[in-house]
Structure 1
C-alpha cells in the first residue's frame, strides 16, 4: 500500500532536522465509528502498522533530529514502535485537550472505554539535540476547539518552529504551511482533504467563560482566552465584583485573569461614566 499511495520521501542536504507526522493509523475495529476508513463516513484510507514503520524516515533525517508524532490514545504502544523504527527514541509528549466554545472538555469524543477528549503528540529525539530556548518555556499542552475529522490544531506549527530547528518536513500533510516541505497523498494544494466539517467543529477561540471550582486551574493559554472575555465585559463598564458574581468566580480570580491580559484597571469603587445621546 505504501508504494501505491505515496511517492518517495523528499530529501534535503544534510537531512531534515525536524519531522512532523500524522499517520493514517488503522484501528483493529475497522467498521466502528472510530475507524477512519469507515465507508459511510468517508474519511481517508489507512495504513497498517508495518507499512508505517517501513517508511525510511531515518534515511532522510539529520544525524540529530526531532520528531513530533500524532497518535491516538488507544495506539500509544504502536506510536512508540513507529518512533523506534524511524530511528528516534521517545522523550515526552504534548497533550491536545479538545475544548468546547466555553473552554470545557469536548465530550463528543469517541472510545470503547472512555470518551476521549485528548490526543497525544509524541516527541522523540534522534541523536542528541535539545529543544531551542523557547522549548524550556513551552508547556506540554495545546487547548483549542476541534475542527473537521482528524485535522490537528494549527498551533502545532508555531510550537514546533519555536522549539525545534529546520529544515522541516511534514509527513501525511493535508494543509501545506510556509517554510515546510510536505509529503503525502493529500499534500498538494489542489487537493481537497477528506473529512466532513460537522457543526460545532469549526475551531476558533473559546467564546464564553467556563465554570470552575474554587481550586480548579486552567492552563496559561485558556486563562488568557478567558481573560480576554472578561476584559471585554469589564471595558463595557462592569465591575470586577459584577464579573465575579456573573461567572461564579472569586474576585481574586477575576482580577488575576484581567491582569494577565494587561487590562487597565479602574481605581476601586469607580465605574466609567456612560454618555447618552439625545
Structure 2
C-alpha cells in the first residue's frame, strides 16, 4: 500500500505577479523566505508555535521572473543566510544578474561588541550577507566610491534587516526601486510582499502593484534616474498627454512634481500645448 505525502506546513501557493513600472526597475532589494532543511526547529521561520512566516523552496525562488521587471541595466541586493550562500548565488544567476561583491551586516550589542545570540551548527553567526549583483552594465553611483561594504547595527525582530540598508542602497544605486518580500513600509519604494503595509499585515494582503500591471515608479524629489528609464516614463506619460490629459492631471496620476512631468515630456520631445489649452478634438 503506497503512502501519501505528508501535508505541508502550509499549502504551496503560486506567488502573485511581480509589479512592473515603465522602463523597468533599476534597483531590486530582496530578502527571500529561504527554506532550511530543518523546517520546524526552534529558530526556523516555520516553527509550529512561533509561526514567523512561510518559506519557499530554492526552485520556487529561482523561478520568479525578476529579470523581466528590471531595466536593461540594473542592480540587485540579495540577502542570504551564511549557510545558504551557494543558493543565493544560484538565485542571483537565475534572476539574470552576475555576482560582483557583497555587504556584511555585523550585528552588534548595545556596547558595540558582537551580538553572541546568533545560532549555527559550526560557528555562532553574528553576520548576514547582502549579495550585490549587476544585470547588463551599470556602475554604482559616485557615493559608493567611499562606501564601506559593512553595516554595523543592533538586530531587532526575527529576520528583520537593518533600516540603514535603504539609505546605503539609495546613495549607491539609481531608482526606481523594488523591494521583494517586503515586510515593512518604505517611502519611495515599490513593495512586493504580504507584510508591507503601514502596519504589519496578515498573510495574503494585496498591495499596490502586487497583482501585476504597470505602474509609474515612485521617485524621490530630485532623484536622478537613468536616461533610458526616464525616456520610457516620458513616452508613457506622453501618450496620456497627447490623449488629452493635462500636466496637472499627470502629476496627480504619477505622484511626480509638475516640473518633473514637464521635464519628462520635454526629454522625449512631446509637442507641448499652450498652458490652459485643452487637447484638440
TM-score (norm 2): 0.66
Q: Tell me what 1:112 maps to.
A: 121
CA distance in 1 between partners of 2:133 and 2:144 (Å):
14
Asked if residue 61 in structure 1 is aligned to residue 70 in structure 2, the reply is yes
Asked if residue 97 in structure 1 is aligned to residue 110 in structure 2, the reply is no
Q: 1:154 aligns with which of 150, 160, 163?
A: 163
Q: CA RMSD in A?
A: 1.7
> Which residues of structure 1 form unaligned runs of 5+?
195-278
Cα displacement string for residues 236-265 of structure 1 (whole angstroms, at most 9, x for unaligned residues): xxxxxxxxxxxxxxxxxxxxxxxxxxxxxx
Listed as ranges, the matches of 1:21-170 within 5 Å are 21-170=30-179
Cα displacement string for residues 103-142 of structure 1 (whole angstroms, at most 9, x for unaligned residues): 0000000111111000000000000100000011100000
Q: 1:9 aligns with which of 18, 21, 24?
A: 18
CA distance in 1 between partners of 2:75 and 2:51 (Å):
33
Maintained 8 Å contact 1:70/1:120: yes
Maintained 8 Å contact 2:27/2:177: yes
CA distance in 2 between partners of 1:11 and 1:85 (Å):
19
Describe the shift of the 1:115–1:161 C-alpha distance in structure 2 as closer, same or farther (beyond 3 A).
Answer: same
> Which residues of structure 2 form unaligned runs of 5+?
1-9, 204-281
Describe the shift of the 1:189–1:2 C-alpha distance in structure 2 as closer, same or farther (beyond 3 A).
Answer: farther
Maintained 8 Å contact 2:194/2:201: no
